[in-house]
């Protein structure tokens, strides 16, 4: 039952919370019950909401992230006070820095008690406040539904992110009065606010339209903030004759089989043949992308003088790179207005893209040939892995990665046609993200396969969530990229120091780890074994059984992203430090 459908009367807090969650459209909560929220779990068990038991609260935020980032409903991490909340902080930070909405629902100590030193008694909202858009602490039963719904509204409005609400244990244990009339008025006002939010300034729309229409070759760079405008972006690109790149999180917002698609990025991390094309662009539209360190390969991009940046967050446009026009607006509403302005004022805009399309096609062909070069003997070539997975898994499959090489490899090799289908920890870049995010996406999209690519180091953090996937019969195929070290960091270490201290992992039996959860595991050591391994994994998830594939991945070839990051960072160092690092690297290689 939804909160607005409750009758005026006396209720315990669990009823009010579960009813408010239903009103907010939340379908699942992720956590572990404790002494403070027993009453809540009893109410959830008799509601339409599914409370999911996980193995570690660290995973709760990642599951909630995967649910929302994949285009599902807002995710809810449901944690006990104190340790439950602090365990969940990594997932909270991930949603904050990547702009993913999440409700952190925590219970609290009794606020009606005179006793001090209660169990789990810490100022947990003070702990989590720096990682949240806002925090809420209802004092009465009447405040519970409205504050919870206000928290969800805040999480989803503007730049999305996490919001925390603490429900004191006494509100769960005791009954109190609730009148739904004020809540109905609040809901009506919230609907009006949502309708009015994010409208662009018509004068700025006209300014951007004129700038782009006057350019010889525009570039459109798309972030996750523009995912809701994905269906309009091909029309916009074709109208302008623009090449289109994306951030990691925006991957798929522009179909990567479109002849005007460039790459996930356009600076130093862009392959040479494609970068040459991007460098010819004389205007740029940055749409729903913050131009942060990771998506720009350590700020290794240069914008043309004629540039505009559009973001729902007023602090973003121009924050890292100077732009001529700064627009605060919802990306979809802006694109609708921009297309209208182009049609009205620049109707004769007929860009000649024959050369551009041909050049892009040839550049992509050259890059794919480089990526497909044979791997080291006895290892799996990344290009063969990702190509084979996409060959057999159906269109619409969701993909998740973990912090490190897996993200960069998947970003460069997968070819996606839809937004919200690439789930990767980017700006917070937290290890342990992949498997829980896969599970969250699987709950959000029942029956749709979810494929994860996790490093063997990252899997050690949250690998026991295989139990959660198995218990709930989720179609999750996890490809574990085994190099028996922290691959991305080890690569940077060897580049700079010719050594990899503290980055080599203790070896472990992956099949035995999977067996603990009742999940089958199959090894894949060479390219020749890939098709059989991928087809086996597809059959397993088709039978609603999670599957694990132990992939002997070849990391010998650095990704374009890694090369770009090294180039951008090294180029900004003072000359004295560049020479110092070069001398050290040469000396260690020689001696």
Residue 347 and residue 290 share a domain: yes
Tokens linked to 195: 């309708």
Distance between CA atoms of residues 178 and 187, nearest Å: 16
pLDDT band for 368, please (50, 70, 90 cuts).
very high
Distance between CA atoms of residues 103 and 105, nearest Å: 6
Q: Is 465 left (phi over 0), alpha (psi -120 to 50) or beta?
A: alpha
CATH number at residue 107: 3.40.50.970
| SS3 readout for 220-271 | EEECHHHHHHHHHHHHHHHHHCCEEEECCCCCCCCCCCCCCECCCCCCCCCC
Is the pLDDT score of 346 beyond 90? no
Residue 568 resides in a domain? no
Is the pLDDT score of 39 beyond 90? yes
Residue 588 resides in a domain? no
> Model-level pTM?
0.94
Residue 227 and residue 129 share a domain: no
pLDDT tens by residue, 99-138? 999 999 999 988 888 888 888 888 999 999 999 999 999 9
Residue 133 resides in a domain? yes
pLDDT tens by residue, 254-308? 999 999 999 999 999 999 999 999 999 999 999 999 999 999 999 999 999 999 9
Residue 287 and residue 225 share a domain: yes
Phi and psi at 99, nearest 5°, equal: 70, 45
Residue 275 and residue 176 share a domain: no
Residue 584 resides in a domain? no
Residue 265 and residue 180 share a domain: no
Residue 403 near residue 461 (C-beta atoms within 8 A): no
Residue 389 and residue 254 share a domain: no
How wide is the angle at C-alpha 417 spanned by C-alphas 413 and 423, nearest 5°? 65
pLDDT tens by residue, 492-516? 777 777 777 887 888 899 999 999 9
Task: Give the residue from 196, 229, 246 where a domain finishes.
Answer: 196
Q: Which domain holds residue 422?
A: 374-563
Residue 174 resides in a domain? yes
- pLDDT, greater one: 314 or 591: 314
Residue 122 and residue 216 share a domain: no
Predicted local confidence at residue 558, as pLDDT: 87
Predicted local confidence at residue 486, as pLDDT: 77
Residue 212 and residue 307 share a domain: yes
Residue 46 and residue 171 share a domain: yes
Residue 380 and residue 286 share a domain: no
pLDDT tens by residue, 378-416? 799 999 999 999 999 999 999 999 998 899 999 999 999
pLDDT band for 362, please (50, 70, 90 cuts).
very high
Residue 589 resides in a domain? no
pLDDT tens by residue, 232-253? 999 999 999 999 999 999 999 9
Residue 184 and residue 36 share a domain: yes
Predicted local confidence at residue 575, as pLDDT: 85
User: Which residues does 553 contact at the CB level (< 8 Å), separation at least 6?
Assistant: 379, 380, 382, 385, 405, 481, 482, 483, 487
Predicted local confidence at residue 348, as pLDDT: 61
How many domains in the chain?
Answer: 3
pLDDT tens by residue, 407-430? 999 999 999 999 999 999 999 989
Residue 571 resides in a domain? no
Is the pLDDT score of 212 beyond 90? yes
Q: At what angle do helices 560-572 and 487-497 cross, to 10 degrees?
A: 40
Predicted local confidence at residue 373, as pLDDT: 86
Residue 507 and residue 421 share a domain: yes
pLDDT band for 582, please (50, 70, 90 cuts).
confident
Residue 18 resides in a domain? yes
CATH number at residue 223: 3.40.50.1220
Give all strands (DSSP E) within 461-508, no chain letters: 476-481
pLDDT tens by residue, 185-207? 889 888 888 888 899 999 999 99
């Amino acid at each position: 039952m939804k909160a607005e459908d409750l009758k005026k009367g006396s209720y315990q807090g669990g009823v009010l919370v579960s009813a408010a969650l239903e009103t907010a459209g939340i379908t699942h909560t992720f956590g572990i019950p404790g002494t403070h929220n027993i009453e809540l779990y009893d109410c959830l068990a008799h509601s339409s909401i599914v409370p999911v038991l996980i193995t570690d609260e660290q995973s709760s935020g990642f599951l909630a992230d995967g649910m929302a980032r994949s285009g599902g409903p807002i995710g809810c991490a449901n944690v006990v006070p104190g340790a439950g909340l602090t365990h969940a902080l990594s997932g909270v930070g991930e949603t904050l820095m990547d702009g993913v909405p999440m409700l952190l629902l925590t219970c609290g100590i009794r606020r009606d008690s005179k006793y001090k030193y209660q169990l789990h008694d810490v100022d947990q909202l003070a702990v989590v406040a720096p990682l949240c858009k806002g925090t809420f602490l209802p004092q009465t039963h009447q405040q519970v539904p409205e504050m919870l719904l206000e928290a969800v509204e805040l999480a989803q409005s503007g730049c999305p992110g996490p919001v925390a609400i603490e429900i004191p244990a006494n509100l769960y244990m005791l009954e109190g009065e609730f009148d739904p009339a004020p809540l109905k008025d609040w809901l009506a006002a919230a609907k009006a606010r949502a309708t009015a939010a994010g409208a662009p300034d018509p004068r700025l729309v006209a300014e951007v339209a004129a700038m782009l229409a006057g350019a010889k070759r525009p570039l459109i760079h798309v972030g996750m903030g523009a995912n809701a405008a994905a269906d309009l972006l091909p029309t916009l690109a074709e109208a302008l004759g623009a090449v289109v790149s994306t951030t990691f999180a925006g991957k798929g917002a522009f179909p990567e089989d479109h002849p005007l698609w460039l790459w996930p990025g356009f600076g130093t991390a862009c392959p040479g043949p494609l970068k040459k094309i991007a460098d010819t662009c004389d205007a740029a539209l940055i749409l729903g992308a913050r131009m942060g360190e990771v998506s720009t390969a350590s700020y290794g991009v240069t914008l043309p003088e004629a540039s505009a940046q559009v973001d729902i967050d007023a602090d973003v446009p121009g924050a890292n790179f100077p732009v001529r026009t700064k627009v605060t607006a919802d990306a979809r509403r802006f694109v609708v207005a921009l297309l209208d302005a182009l049609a009205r004022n620049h109707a004769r805009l007929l860009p000649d893209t024959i050369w551009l399309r041909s050049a892009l096609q040839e550049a992509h062909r050259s890059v794919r040939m480089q990526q497909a070069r044979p791997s080291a003997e006895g290892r799996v070539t990344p290009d063969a892995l990702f190509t084979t997975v996409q060959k057999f898994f159906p269109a619409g499959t969701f993909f998740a990665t973990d912090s490190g090489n897996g993200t960069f490899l998947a970003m460069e090799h997968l070819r996606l046609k839809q937004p919200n289908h690439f789930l990767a920890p980017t700006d917070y870049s937290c290890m342990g993200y992949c498997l829980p995010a896969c599970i969250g996406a699987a709950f959000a999209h029942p029956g749709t396969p979810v494929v994860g690519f996790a490093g063997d180091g990252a899997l050690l953090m949250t690998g026991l969530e295989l139990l959660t996937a198995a218990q709930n019969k989720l179609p999750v195929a996890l490809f574990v990229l085994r190099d028996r070290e922290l691959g991305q960091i080890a690569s940077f270490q060897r580049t700079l120091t010719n050594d990899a201290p503290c980055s080599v992992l203790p070896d472990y039996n992956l099949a035995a780890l999977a067996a603990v959860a009742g999940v089958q595991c199959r090894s894949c050591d060479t390219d020749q074994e890939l098709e059989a391994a991928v087809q086996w994994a597809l059959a397993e998830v088709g039978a609603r059984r999670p599957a694990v594939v132990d992939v002997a991945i070849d990391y010998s070839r650095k990704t374009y992203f890694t090369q770009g990051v090294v180039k951008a960072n090294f180029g900004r160092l003072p000359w004295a430090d560049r020479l110092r690092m070069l001398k050290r690297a040469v000396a260690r290689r020689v001696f």
